[in-house]
Amino acid sequence: MLNWANQFNICCLLDNNSYPSAYHRFEALLAADAVQTLEAAAGNAFSALEQFYATHRDWLFGHLAYDLKNETAPGLRSENPDGTGFPDMHFFQPRVILLLKNNQVHIGGMHFSIEDALAVYRDCLRMPVTVNVPAAPRLTALRAHLDHDRYISAVKGIQAHILRGDCYEVNFCRENFMENASVYPPALFSQLNALSPAPFAAYYRLHDRYLISSSPERYLQKTGNTVISQPIKGTSRKHADPVQDKALQEALRNNPKERAENIMVVDLVRNDLSHTALRGSVHVKELCGIYSFAQVHQMISTVAAETAPGTQLTDILKHTFPMGSMTGAPKIRVMQLIEEYEQSRRGLYSGAVGYITPEGDFDFNVVIRSIIYNDTRQYLSFQTGSAVTFYSDPELEWEECLLKAAAMVRLFE
């Protein structure tokens, strides 16, 4: 499927890797071959998306880049260098959609007949399962704007702002990047997905720009009038020994710092959802649950709300974006500090990729644990971060960044 889709300049594969969840609607979705597209910069992007959806009322796939934050509040800017080149927003109406559910594949698209669907199916079967790819660039080519010492200094600077009362928690990230990197993105996605399968994995091609994601986090899902958000805050390494691994899970569950981070973000998400919710409908369905993934254990909460009558889908997005797990609290102030202390533009990283249905439902991930690649520039990037609080140990925050990057680093060893 992926090799077939990648022949098109625009395509998107979303795969839950059979991760158990009551909220999953599909096992996988593949959209390919754009019929209509929307590209918008921060300023009027959300209203442009609302108009685009109202015009087509069809399946839409695409992304919201982190720097759409500049449309959500006054005084925000993005002036750090950007090597990957994704626009602030892009959505496309696909000609073809493949939907996997209950061991069945459903193929459809604009003005599709049974013969058209069979043709796509046969084309997919004819595609090679494996391909010859160039060797991945070596780890020695990996660079970072923030090395260990500069990272530690920046964390201490952020903690000084916390001490002064400017904020409570800042999601602080650092970029790893390679220049003159030649990779074959579909193969890189297959390798990462095998190494670190995740419930919100995504392969997204936008001409010469690619997202290769093993994200474990859902940003926002709307089903009917119900909206849920599932922020992640709290991370632990895993252990091969089951007894020691269980102990690590319990240590994460009972860690006061990690719980405080998670609860702080839950409060932020509750506030964000309240702007478009029926009064009294915002509630926490699960607080600080522990979930295991291929590389780490994570602490995840689920916050739900019912939308108020007359709410447009982009109202919900605009009032909750960027997601609190990737900013901190209070949201506007920490976004200003992120711009000051981080040394590169986040772009698509810590944004969201997903879909909107013809009925106005949607589901978006959080773009983390992801490789972003610009083929024309031959620029490859992946960022990782952690939540900095007053009680943070800067060295442990550095180690958390390395832990989250481990699966991506292994691809280049």
Which helix (DSSP H) or strand (DSSP E) does residue 54 occupy? helix 45-56
Write the DSSP assignment of 256-308 as a string of letters: HHHHHHHHHHHHHHHHHHHTTBPTT--EEEEEEEEEE-SSEEEEEEEEEEEBP
Task: Give, as one character, the DSSP assignment of residue 318.
Answer: H
Q: For the segment 226-266, what is each residue's pLDDT rounded down to a tens digit?
A: 999 999 999 999 999 999 999 999 999 999 989 999 999 99
Q: Which domains does the chain have, with CATH numbers?
A: 2-410 (3.60.120.10)
For the chain, how big is the Rg over CA atoms in Å? 20
Q: For the segment 267-318, what is each residue's pLDDT rounded down to a tens digit?
A: 999 999 999 999 999 999 999 999 999 889 999 999 999 999 999 999 999 9
Q: What share of the chain is helix, strand, coil (3-state, %, to 5)?
A: 35, 35, 35
Q: For the segment 37-91, what is each residue's pLDDT rounded down to a tens digit?
A: 999 999 999 999 999 999 999 999 999 999 999 999 998 999 999 999 999 999 9
Cα→Cα distances 181→9, 105, 178, 348, 372, Å: 20, 35, 6, 19, 12
378-385 mean pLDDT:
96
Question: What is the structure's pLDDT at 110?
Answer: 79
User: 104: closest CA among 28, 201, 6, 32?
Assistant: 28
What is the distance between the alpha carbons of residues 350 and 214, in angstroms, rounded to a whole number? 13
Strand partners, 226: 223, 306
What is the distance between the alpha carbons of residues 31 and 2, in angstroms, rounded to a whole number? 10
pLDDT at residue 132 is higher than 70: no
Q: Which of 169, 217, 306, 339 is catalytic?
A: 217
Q: Which of 69, 233, 318, 404 is catalytic?
A: 233
What is the distance between the alpha carbons of residues 379 and 372, in angstroms, rounded to a whole number? 8
Task: Confirm whether 217 is a catalytic residue.
Answer: yes
Question: What is the structure's pLDDT at 126?
Answer: 83
Question: What is the structure's pLDDT at 141?
Answer: 80
User: 214: closest CA among 407, 12, 5?
Assistant: 407
Q: For the segment 322-381, what is each residue's pLDDT rounded down to a tens digit?
A: 999 999 999 999 999 999 999 999 999 999 999 999 999 999 999 999 999 999 999 999
Which helix (DSSP H) or strand (DSSP E) does residue 372 occupy? strand 370-374
Q: In the block, which residue shows the tokens 């979705």? A: 29
Three-state DSSP class for 329?
Answer: strand
Task: Confirm whether 233 is a catalytic residue.
Answer: yes
What is the distance between the alpha carbons of residues 324 and 27, in angstroms, rounded to a whole number? 26
